Structure 1
C-alpha cells in the first residue's frame, strides 16, 4: 500500500480548524511543503509541546508529506520566541540528514501568524490569490499534529487519539492525550473544576473558537483546546452576541473609521476584503449584491471584532451576515486579478500577540499548560461519523460486534470527499447511527 493510501486509510485530517482530509491535500503537486507550527491562538499549547516530545516523528512525517507532493523544499514556520523548540528541531533535522530539504524559519509573534495565507507569505513571499488556497502558489500546508499523524500512518497506526490543551480561568492548565469520542465534560474536569454552572467553554482558541451551548459533546479529531472562563468574562459576553444583537449595535454606533479594514490580515496581503463596507451595507440596508460579494473573502480570524474596532462593534458578524446571504442565493465572488502584493502599510499594522492577549482580558491566564499523563478511560466513546470536511463515514460495524482499538469502523463513501474513522478503545459496539458509533469499553 502506498503512503498516500495509508494516510487515507488512517483517517488523517487537518488536526485543527475545518478538518480537511489530508490525503486530498497530499495528492497535489507543489514546490513547497510548509509546516504550520505558528499556533497563534492565545493560550493554546499543543503544537509547541508535541514538537518537543516527538521531533523525529513530526520531521519524518513532514518529510514524507513533502515527498508525496514532490516538494523541492520544506519550511517549518514557528514563532521565534519558542527558542527551545527551534533548537530541538534544528538539532534533529541535522541528525536525520534532512538539512538540504527542511529549513526552520522564525515568525514574528503576531496574530494571525497561523492563518494559512499569512503563513505562506511569511515563509515564501508569495501571496495566495483572493478566494484561493496555498496550492494556487505552489504550496501545501500541514500542521504539527497532522505531520505526526502522517508519520503514524506510515507505520500503519490510524488516528484514534487527540491532544487537547485545557486553559483559562482554571485551577490547573494542562495538555492531555485522550481517546477520540471521549465525553468533553470528562476532559474539562481535568482542569480541577467539577461544577460548570458559573463557567462558559470556548471550543478552540479565544479568537476563532465558538462558545459551546452545552458541554455534553464528544472529542473529535478537530478539537485542539478548550478555554474555560467565567460567564461574566467580557470575552464570553462578546462571543455570545447573536447576529441580530450585533446588527442593532452596529447600526447604532459605526462611524466608518475603517480600522476593521485597515487592520485586516487579508486586506493587508492585498485582498479586497473590506469589513467597513459590509458595516455600511448592513447599516444602510444597501441592496447591490455586487458590493457585498467581498464578504466571502473574510477568513473569520475575528481580529476586526475583538481587537481592531475602537468602538467594540461587530464587523466580522456583518461579514458573516452577507456570506450567509450569498450562500443562500448561490452567489460566489469572482476575483478580478490573479496576482496580489501586500499593501505598503502592512509591516506597521501587524498585531502583537501580547497586546491582543491583554485586550482580550486573558493576560493573567497566559501561562504554561504542561503535558500531563492522565488515566482517562471513558466507559463509552461516541465516535462521530463526520469529524471532517466532506461526507460522513459509512459505518461498517454492527451492534453487538466486538472491536479492537485502531480497527476501522467507518469508510469513506464511494466517490466522495471524506475520512475513515476507527475505534479509539477496545470494546463492544452499542449503537450505530447516522451521527455516532458508540463503543462500550471491555
Structure 2
C-alpha cells in the first residue's frame, strides 16, 4: 500500500486547523514541504511538546510526505524562543542522515506566525496569491501533530486520539492526550474546575477559537485546546458579541483610523484586504456588492478585532458580514494582481506575541501547560462523522455491534472529499445519529 492510501485509511486530517484531509493535500507535487511548528495561538502548548517527545516520528512523517510529493526541501518552522526544541530537532535530523533534505528555520515570536500564508513567506520568501493556497507557490504545509499522525499511519495506526491544551483561569494548566469522542466536560474537569457556571470556554486558541455555547460537546480529531475564562473576562465579553450587534456598533463608532488595515497580516503580505473599507461600507450602506469582494480575503485571524482597533470595535465581523452577503449572491473574489510584494512597512508592523497576550488580558495565564498522563473513563463517547472538511463519513457499523479500539466505523463516501473515522475506545454502538456515532465503553458496556 502506498503512503497516500495509508494516510487515507488512517483518517489523517489537519490537526488543529480546519481539518482538511491530508491525503488530498498530498496528491500534487511541490518544491517544498513545510512543517508548521509555530503554534502561534497564545496559551496553547501542544506542538512544542510533541516535537520534544516525538522528534524522530515527526521527522520521519514529514520526510515521508515530502518524498511522496517529490519536494526538494523540507523546512520546519519553529519559533526561535523554543531553543531546546530547535536544538533537539536539528540534532535528530542530522542523526537520521537527513540534513541534506531537511532543516529547521527559526520564526519570529509574532502573531500570526502559524497562518500558513505568513509561514510560507517567512520560510521561503514566497507570497501565496490572493484567494489561493500554498501549493500555488510550490509549497505544502502540515503541522507537527499531522506529521506524527502520518508516521503512525505508516505503521497502520489510525487517528483515534488528539493532544489538547487546557489553559486559562484554572488551577491546573495541562496538555493531555485525549481519545476522540470524549466529552469536553471530562477534559476540562482535569484542570480542577468542577463547576463551570461562572466560566466560559473558547474552543481552540484565544484569537481564532469560537466561544462555545455550552460544554456538552465532544472532542474531535482537530481539537487543539480549550481556554477557560471567567464570564466577565474581556475576551469572553468580546467574543459574546453577535454579528448583528457588531454591525450596529461598527456603524456608530468607527473613526476610520485604518489601524485594522495597517496591521492586517494578509494586507502586509501585499494582498488587497482592507478591513477599514468594510467598516466604511457599513457606515455608508454601500450597495455595490462587487466593490466589497476584498472581504473574502480575510483569514479571520482576529488581529484587527482583538489587537489593532483602538476603540475595541469589530472589523473582522464586518468582513464576515460582507462575506455572507457575497456568498448569498454566489460572488467570488477574482484577483487582479499577478505579482505580489510585501508592504514596505511590514517589518515594523508585525504583532509581538507578548504584546498581543497583554492586550487580550492573558498575561497572568501565559504559563506552562505540561504534558500530563490521564486515563479517561467515560461512560460513552460520541464520535463525529464530520470532523473534517468535506462530506461526512458514512457509518459502517450497526447499533448493538461491539467495536474494538481503532476499528473503522465510518468510511469516506464514494468519489468525495472526506476522512475515515475510527473507534477511539472499545465498546458497543449505542446509537447512530445523523452526524455522529455513540459508543458505550468500558465497564459500562
Stretch moving more, 247-256 or 191-200: 247-256
How many angstroms apart in 1 are the aligned matches of 2:427 and 2:361?
Answer: 44
Query: Residue 31 of structure 1: CA displacement?
Result: 0.1
Stretch moving more, 399-408 or 350-359: 399-408
Stretch moving more, 245-254 or 197-206: 245-254
Superposition pairs of residues 57-96 of structure 1, within 5 angstroms = 57-96=57-96
| TM-score normalised according to structure 2 size | 0.99
User: Where does residue 414 of structure 2 map in the other structure?
Assistant: 414
Unaligned 5+ segments in structure 2 are none
How many angstroms apart in 2 are the aligned matches of 1:4 and 1:267?
Answer: 35
User: Where does residue 383 of structure 1 map in the other structure?
Assistant: 383
Correspondence 1:54 to 2:54? yes
Query: Residue 433 of structure 1: CA displacement?
Result: 2.1
CA deviations on 1:299-339 (whole Å, 9 max, x unpaired) are: 00000000001111100000000001111111000001122
SS in 1 for 2:170: coil
CA deviations on 1:10-56 (whole Å, 9 max, x unpaired) are: 00000012100000001110000000000000000000000011000
Superposition pairs of residues 78-157 of structure 1, within 5 angstroms = 78-157=78-157
How many angstroms apart in 1 are the aligned matches of 2:90 and 2:378?
Answer: 38
Stretch moving more, 329-338 or 365-374: 329-338
How many angstroms apart in 1 are the aligned matches of 2:329 and 2:246?
Answer: 22
Superposition pairs of residues 204-283 of structure 1, within 5 angstroms = 204-283=204-283
User: Where does residue 34 of structure 1 map in the other structure?
Assistant: 34
How many angstroms apart in 1 are the aligned matches of 2:290 and 2:412?
Answer: 38
How many angstroms apart in 1 are the aligned matches of 2:83 and 2:199?
Answer: 34
How many angstroms apart in 2 are the aligned matches of 1:261 and 1:49?
Answer: 34
Query: Residue 441 of structure 1: CA displacement?
Result: 1.2
Query: Residue 379 of structure 1: CA displacement?
Result: 2.0
How many angstroms apart in 2 are the aligned matches of 1:380 and 1:162?
Answer: 17
Superposition pairs of residues 134-213 of structure 1, within 5 angstroms = 134-213=134-213
CA deviations on 1:238-263 (whole Å, 9 max, x unpaired) are: 01101111112111111111110000
User: Where does residue 296 of structure 2 map in the other structure?
Assistant: 296
User: Where does residue 337 of structure 2 map in the other structure?
Assistant: 337
Superposition pairs of residues 308-387 of structure 1, within 5 angstroms = 308-387=308-387
How many angstroms apart in 1 are the aligned matches of 2:331 and 2:251?
Answer: 25
How many angstroms apart in 1 are the aligned matches of 2:179 and 2:350?
Answer: 38
How many angstroms apart in 2 are the aligned matches of 1:143 and 1:434?
Answer: 30
Query: Residue 106 of structure 1: CA displacement?
Result: 0.2
User: Where does residue 9 of structure 2 map in the other structure?
Assistant: 9
Stretch moving more, 70-79 or 338-347: 338-347
How many angstroms apart in 2 are the aligned matches of 1:56 and 1:440?
Answer: 35
| TM-score normalised according to structure 1 size | 0.99
Query: Residue 223 of structure 1: CA displacement?
Result: 0.5
How many angstroms apart in 2 are the aligned matches of 1:86 and 1:408?
Answer: 36
How many angstroms apart in 2 are the aligned matches of 1:434 and 1:391?
Answer: 13
SS in 1 for 2:105: strand
RMSD: 0.6
Superposition pairs of residues 397-408 of structure 1, within 5 angstroms = 397-408=397-408
Query: Residue 103 of structure 1: CA displacement?
Result: 0.5
How many angstroms apart in 1 are the aligned matches of 2:17 and 2:64?
Answer: 22
CA deviations on 1:138-162 (whole Å, 9 max, x unpaired) are: 0000001000000000000000001
How many angstroms apart in 1 are the aligned matches of 2:384 and 2:338?
Answer: 39
How many angstroms apart in 1 are the aligned matches of 2:204 and 2:400?
Answer: 35
How many angstroms apart in 1 are the aligned matches of 2:246 and 2:429?
Answer: 45
SS in 1 for 2:214: coil
How many angstroms apart in 1 are the aligned matches of 2:338 and 2:7?
Answer: 33
SS in 2 for 1:409: strand
User: Where does residue 284 of structure 2 map in the other structure?
Assistant: 284
How many angstroms apart in 2 are the aligned matches of 1:416 and 1:338?
Answer: 32
How many angstroms apart in 2 are the aligned matches of 1:151 and 1:339?
Answer: 37
How many angstroms apart in 1 are the aligned matches of 2:318 and 2:99?
Answer: 46
How many angstroms apart in 2 are the aligned matches of 1:254 and 1:193?
Answer: 39
User: Where does residue 396 of structure 2 map in the other structure?
Assistant: 396
How many angstroms apart in 1 are the aligned matches of 2:28 and 2:387?
Answer: 22
